[in-house]
Amino acid sequence: MASGFDPNDMIARFRERADAVRRRGLPPVEGPERQRFAEAAQLDFQDFAMLGDAEAVLEDGILHLSIDLRPRPS
């Protein structure tokens, strides 16, 4: 592991990726391919957004990510 690794920088990159997935459009495909692409984009966004919300702790070379998946109060 590189000595300059910052877990908070990594989390910020995941936030940026989630935002990029949200902004990207669908390619000019139709039918079932379009649906598969949209479903994949939704999963990409979900994964990147969850990691972008993580709290990170680096202890003794082990990266611990904590993600609160409980519903937020309205």
What is the chain's length?
74
Helices (H) and strands (E) in the chain, counts: 2, 2
d(CA 20, CA 45): 9
* DSSP designation for 28: S
**Which residue from 14, 18, 67, 16 is spatially nearest to 45, judged by alpha carbons?**
18
pLDDT value of residue 1: 54
| Domain boundaries defined on the chain | 7-66
**Model confidence pLDDT, tens digit, residues 27-63:** 888 899 999 999 999 999 999 999 999 999 999 989 9
> In this predicted model, what pLDDT tens digit does every residue of 25-36 receive, in sequence order?
888 888 999 999
